[in-house]
Amino acid sequence: MSGGTQRPGGTLPPGETGPGASAGPAAGSGDLAGTPATDRPATDRPAGADPGSAAAPAIEPTVLAWDPAMAGYDFGPQHPLHPVRLGLTMDLAASLGVLDAPGIRIVTPTLAPDELIELVHDPLYLNAVRAAPDPTRARMAALFGLGTADNPIFQRMHEAAALITGGTIEAARAVWEGPARHAVSIAGGLHHAMPGMASGFCIYNDPAIAIAWLLAAGATRIAYVDVDVHHGDGVQTAFYDDPRVLTISLHQTGRTLFPGTGFPDEVGAPGAAGSAVNVALPAFTGDGGWLRAFSGVVPVLLRSFRPQVLVTQHGCDTHALDPLADLQLSVDGQRASYEALHALSHELCDGRWLACGGGGYALDAVVPRAWTQLLAVAAHLSLEPGTALPAQWRAEAPQRVRAVTGQKSVGATAGMPRTLGDGVSVRYRPWDAGVGDPDDPLDRAVAETRREVLPLHGLDPTVDR
């Protein structure tokens, strides 16, 4: 997700690399979630080169929490977070057969009740959200971060946010109680909302509420991995003093991007030291650097923590075409992270995986392609990156964005892609290929995170991987 509607810096054209991407043309999923480290050759790894230790899972029900009414979470036509991206995603997924995959179950959620929202949020804040559409309450709303450029007030704001939250709770219930191993809350991932404050386009923090629900249901070890371009500050805040929840966020450094937090020394409160993990990536990091960073932090910590459930947030605003940030990933690189997290869920927590959406502001050119692939991975569906986009969908997507926003879309400006992927050969240099290059900004960022956090888990940052 995001706050502010302007990029803090410039951007590189698609295809150019940034810090940490020098190892080759970006990264693959192979060793991202592969076998626990052994003596592997220090070579670039293509996607899928090492499938890892997890056996191919049998097809099981995958729950998708969805209701078209979720499009009611709408800050207005000029706001970057426009719900047209959800409709475009669902239509693309349907046209490519993802929603007809064996085992996919679409569940229609209900509004999350107050008592569940209040697992994370202050009751006074809920009252403020409910009252915000009343113009006579504008001054009060402003005290709670409502009515700003980032968080404009709209009618039935509480109901819209509570429906999305209800979807994420229902997805959590499905993986904890059955019948599913995987569940997706495509409209969820609103990770910036604070206990008593709206922030960064987020009213209720649905992933944090779902995690709190899981804890109340009996879970004692939950891992949360956030791959949005923005630091997952709201989820970190909710569990900063709770050792039962491990939060890991890989994001563009807060020195150049909202919310200005998420640095390696943010490791958790006393009594929960090591429960918060932050990888603050340099602007313009591409696939190769991003996936190298992932490989150096995420698998080793998840394997040490041994979660019972894996909750993930999949903001696709890390893409090179995203208008609000400065990372340079491709859809193919993003897919590699989905596959890695999927594999880790099977290796570590019997496949219990709750995946949420998140940020993403290239409404037609990126978000639908990225999240269609997320849905496919969760459904154990093989959907090749070279799959052609349906001609009708491809033609209509920019028109639909223009019709509801009044603005020319990213797809209309940059040209709509023709395939599900970006045609990138996804490669990366795994972290275990060396101890890191002190002259490389990407490697310095990863090494700093490892130095801060790994010893708190009884791990050696110079050896363990």
CA dist., res. 203 & res. 192, Å (int): 8
Nearest to 389 by CA among 339, 423, 427: 423
In the 8-state DSSP scheme, what is residue 197? B
Active-site annotation holds for 380: no
Number of Cβ within a 10 Å radius of residue 302: 22
Q: Residue 284: which residues within 8 A CB-CB, separation 6 or more?
A: 11, 12, 17, 18, 19, 326, 327, 328
CA dist., res. 77 & res. 331, Å (int): 26
Q: Which of 79, 182, 192, 251 is catalytic?
A: 192
Indicate the angle between helix axes 157-177 and 123-131, nearest 10 degrees: 130
Q: Residue 458: which residues within 8 A CB-CB, separation 6 or more?
A: 304
In the 8-state DSSP scheme, what is residue 389? P
CA dist., res. 440 & res. 157, Å (int): 45
Cβ 272 vs Cβ 240: under 8 Å = yes
In the 8-state DSSP scheme, what is residue 67? -
210 in helix, strand or coil? helix
Active site members: 192
